Structure 1
Amino acid sequence: MTALVLAADEAWAHVVATQPYYTFRSGLPVERLPHGSIEEAQRDAAVGRSIRARLDAVDPAGLTADDRNTFALLEHLSGDWSMAEESWWWRFPVAPYQSYELALYGNQVLQSFSPAGPADVDRYLSLASDIAAWARVAREKLAAQGKRGWGIPHAALDGFIATVRGHRDSAGSWLRPDPRRLGPADRGKLADGAEKILAGEILPEFDALLGYLSGPLETTGRTGLAQYPGGEEAYRHLVASNATFAITPEEVHQLGLEQVAQLGEQMAEVRAEAGFDGDELAYRRVLEADARFHAAAPGDVEATYRRHLRVVEPVVDQWFRVLPKAPYEVERLDPALEAGMSFGYYEPPNQQTPVGRYRYNGSGLDTRSQINAAALILHELVPGHHFHLARQAEDTSLHPLRGQVAPMALGAYTEGWGEYAASLGFEMGVYADPWDRYGAYQHQRMVAQRLVVDTGLNLYGWSLERAAEYMTGATMESPRQVRTEILRYSTDLPGQALGYRLGWRKLWLLRERAERALGAAFDVRDFHELVLGAGALPLTAVEANVDRWISGATRLT
């Protein structure tokens, strides 16, 4: 085996061993749930250093095109993993997005567990105890962060408490395994053991965590990484890691200001085209009151999405040579999940459900504008996430690290492609109606303002009030959604939201570079195949692939 294959195999083995989502998807038994401890971070860092040492033995110049892509992914992952011990301190374990995986473990691993014998019963009870360990480690970590000057912002505290309380309340439903394959004795051991762990370990640890959050923890009146010791350096790392190419927070902030202003001008042009002579705020009130932009029922939401898809479908082969084999569909979310989601999500096809689905939010329709529906469905389905994620799932030649891990780990590619795909609607004829064009610009500006607000909060020390004022002026989001977003940027996932617009911009810059270099020989279908055919990659690798294609070193078949 080559050093590159050994490095990829080591990385994949580490992911399967430490991340239950991938263990579960691989059909292997989950032996342990993560606790979120510093020791786990140290193990991640050790694996990262080991992989980087393997890569040092590889000469990139001698690699095939496909191996160069694998090398680039391993460089990115190993770089992030090598920083795991340092970055452990930068994240509050009880923040909503940071602790989301705990609910995933409870629902996916514990609730669906179907033990077949005594060994499975013991494994299940050990996994149940891991839930209690997570709560204990979270409390210990918060205390350690406080001693380092990393106090929880007051503004985020209520949300953190609500998140922990939600996990506590859900724990009882997680501990309901299917005992039908067990004999009477093992069934009794399972039921008794689960009840004892719930009452004696899980609930007491969660109560202790809630008590800590309500009592002696260190807090701060500010938000954002800039306030903390080493916070600026942490944020600079997060920006580069999420972008997957070299860019500074200062450059991101300036880019955001310019793009928000440009999109504002484009929206003004559409208002003038529609014959409206008032300002944006007045136009916003008109849109909010117009029944055309509010669905009366969930079925109307679906009908709007399908109408836009019907415009794309007849012309999509003019932009793409290869289409996913899997069909796609629009389907409402489980109503029980809708309160916690702004819009919805794309669900890739799998063996059980071989259809890519956009699961949309059908609640709160009286306040949920549909003016950006065209841009949203292009982002989520055609030619957005479905064209990327379904194709990547269908490519069995990819190493599982690239086929499964890369799309989740590389948000600038995955979400950047979704944004780029939505912007294709202008040239594909989807936004011929001024209302849809206005909604598409509005959608883009919502994403672009993140470049300003995320950096404002985490680098320049903006207050929540200043961030909320800026975001309110650049979006049509409700005050509640604005607050949720800015807390996400500043206290939960700093830097993560930048990938959407940065990825969009990088893909367009690369396309324009290829168009200039190739002139009449440029075919947009070739460009799209070059970007999509290899699957998710760091954008530095995408750029290198485009440059080799321009130079003639890479030929598409």
Structure 2
Amino acid sequence: MTGPATSALTQIADDAWAHVLATQPFFALRGDHRVEQLPHGSLEQARREATVGRSIRTRLREVDPAGLSADDRNTLALLNHLGTEWSEAEDSWWWHFPVAPYQSHELALYGSQVLRSVSLTEPSDVDRCLSLAADIAAWARCARERLAGQAERGWGVPKAALDGFVATVRGHCAGAGEWLRPGDTRQLGPADSGRLTDGVEKIFTGEVVPAFDALLEYLTGPAKNTAVDGVGLSQYPGGEQAYRKLVERYATFAITPEEVHELGLEQVALLDEQLAEVRAEVGFDGGEREYQHVLEADKRFHAPAPEVVEDTYRRHLSAVAPVVGRLFRVLPQARYGVEQLDPALQAGMSFGYYEPPTPQRPIGRYRYNGSGLDTRSQISAAALILHELVPGHHFHLARQAEDTGLHPIRGQLAPLALGAYTEGWGEYAASLGFEMGVYTDPWDRYGAYLHQRFVAQRLVVDTGLNLYGWSLDKAAEYLAVKTMESPQQIGTETLRYATDLPGQALGYRLGWRKLWQLRRRAETAFGAAFDVRDFHEQILGAGALPFTAVEDNVDRWITGR
């Protein structure tokens, strides 16, 4: 029977989910809910979220954990994490530049997905479509106001990021013209159809374009005048404390930036040794830089066209398909595939991202960057696609969305809100390629180690840029010595860490390490009785959780063996 603690917890989860549906259109679309507003990114919206977060934390303190089941305690742990993060929304609103590529890419997703999904069948649909169109202009106005407010607080835009910010805004403005194009209006009467067409044109020319023009004028004028030479959070008033909070928020367990930096140095050194072993295996007796030149000159590792990139990914996925069942008891039902990024997003993104299935498009896709292929090595393609699709992101994101037993706050929001779990699982999944026998080719193994070292380097570079005051040049030099990535790729990566998503990239290796620590702990405890499928079910069965809760679950499983 459901006790009072469970009932109270469920009500809090319901209220938190209602807040998500009202403020994050992606989740509303997945649940086939009407989207009434696109996020503006305003300070007022951040304050409302902070109020919601404080309320959740207050109400959770009144819930007695002794009256909860093990699964309920998972929900409690997640709500505590979300409540804490949301309660800090007003403070963290100042920590990010709204026009950075990754910070603003949701605008393109919301603009295209929401506006194109409006069913135009009755007059109220016209009104909603016009209101959503006006929200795009509101986003641009709020972005300008936020940048100006940040400058007043001493948070000037880094000079090195300005050109990218301008290009991103121009791309969004151009994209808006496509998003606002009316869909199928055949079910509307002539009057409503004309009202929609005329209204959209009026909003686009009278509100959207002027708002984006004003934002661009600010970026090329006042923002340029207040721009700063350095990068990273520690250069700003209160920036170091902000970064410390972001590190723990993304990790979802207690760790300091200093600990992260030292861990990164250790991990990179270990992977240096593993790479050297593969070079010796293939009979190369030179150093790493010399071997990189050999690989860079090898046409096998460079795709001449996007279609070749896709073919490479599909070949590796075909190798995984017959063996993945040996490691997992439950597989997702949704199909998966690869598709190139929209052109407007390719310039500002280093690689791409996984796009989960939706009711409108029930297939999980890796949206890859198909630009600049002459400078993009494909040697790590096997590890990358295992990370992004199978058994990586697609496995946990699609599967958890399909688990109707999970509260939606856990089954839908948590996997996308908990970066260390999500990206840590992706990295752990890519490392399973060794266990599954996918990396039989020594070059695939070499690429997998290069991929691992690349994310391990992030522990060093992200903390270097945001805590220790590294310059972009120093960060780029560190990456260039130990990577196959092009200078352009390294440039977008370092900007991502320093001016777009400080701390976010740490979750990849921190999550990988935590999962392997827990697996080794279980292997030691169970001995010969250890079954990796049971361990994976412990990790995936409960859905994405803060790692404090994941660790508690594994420890209880071990204790109760």
TM-score by length of 2: 0.94
- Residue 287 of structure 1 is matched in structure 2 by 295
The answer as to 2:69 corresponding to 1:64 is: yes
Q: Does 1:15 align with 2:20?
A: yes
The alpha carbon displacement at 1:73 in A equals 0.9
* Paired residue type of 1:38: L
**Is the CA contact (8 Å cut-off) linking 1:402 and 1:535 kept in structure 2?**
yes
Q: Match of 1:36?
A: 41
Aligned residues: CA RMSD: 2.0
Could you report, residue by residue, the CA deviation over 1:34-78 in whole angstroms, capped at 9, with x for unpaired residues?
211111111000100111111111122331121111111111111
| Contact 1:274/1:434, CA 8 A, preserved across alignment | yes
Q: 1:70 and 1:239 mapped to 2: Cα distance?
A: 22
Amino acid aligned to 1:202: V
**Residue in 1 that maps onto 2:212:** 206
The aligned residue for residue 191 of structure 1 is 197
Q: SS of the counterpart of 1:133? A: helix
CA displacement, residues 302-338 of structure 1 (integer Å, 9 cap, x when unaligned): 4433443444333333322222233444555567765
Identical aligned residues as a percent: 75
Match of residue 256 from structure 1: 264
Distance, in Å, in 2 between the alignment partners of 1:47 and 1:303 is 46
Asked if 1:106 corresponds to 2:111, the answer is yes
Kindly tell me: are residues 24 and 260 of structure 1, through their superposed partners in 2, closer, same or farther at Cα, counting changes over 3 Å? same
Indicate conservation of the 8 Å contact 1:416/1:503, yes or no: yes
Matched, 1:322 2:330: yes
Match of 2:508 among 484, 500, 514: 500
**Which of the numbers 312, 319, 322 marks the counterpart of 2:320?**
312
Question: 1:423 & 1:289 partners in 2: Cα distance?
Answer: 27
* Distance change >3 Å, CA 240–CA 308, structure 1 → 2: same
Query: 1:371: which partner in 2?
Result: 379
Change (3 A) 1:99 1:360: closer
Residue among 84, 87, 92 paired with 1:82:
87
Number of the residue aligned with 1:550: 558
1:507-522 map, 5 Å: 507-522=515-530
The 1:501/1:123 distance shift into structure 2, 3 A limit, reads same
Counterparts in 2 of 1:515 and 1:314: CA distance versus 1, 3 Å: same
CA contact (8 A) 1:111 1:173 kept: no
Asked if 1:456 is matched to 2:464, the reply is: yes
Residue identity matched to 1:281: R
Amino acid at match of 1:73: L
Alignment gaps of 5+ in structure 2: none
Change (3 A) 1:304 1:172: closer
2:440 paired residue number: 432
Q: Which sits farther off after the overlay, 213-222 or 456-465?
A: 213-222
Q: 1:260, 1:474 within 8 Å by CA — same for their partners in 2?
A: no
Structure 1 stretches lacking a partner, 5+ long? none
Matched residue of 1:98: which SS?
A: helix
Q: Is the 8 A contact 1:385 1:418 kept in 2?
A: yes
SS in 2 for 1:346: strand
TM-score by length of structure 1 reads: 0.95
**1:93 equivalenced with 2:98 (yes/no):** yes
Of stretches 336-345 and 137-146 in structure 1, the one that deviates more from structure 2 is 336-345
Q: How many residues align?
A: 553
Q: What letter matches 2:431 in structure 1?
A: S
Q: Is residue 268–residue 280 contact of structure 1 (8 Å, CA) maintained in 2?
A: yes
Letter in structure 2 aligned against 1:171:
A
Cα offset for 1:353?
4.5
- 1:38 and 1:113, CA in 2 relative to 1: closer, same or farther beyond 3 A? same
Q: Distance in 2 between matches of 1:100 and 1:298?
A: 22
Contact 2:389 2:395 in 1 (8 A): yes
* Counterpart for residue 475 of structure 2: 467
The verdict on how the C-alpha distance between 1:372 and 1:400 changes in structure 2, with shifts beyond 3 A counting, is same
Q: Between 375-384 and 143-152, report the one with greater CA deviation.
A: 375-384
1:420–1:507 CA contact under 8 A, matched in 2: yes
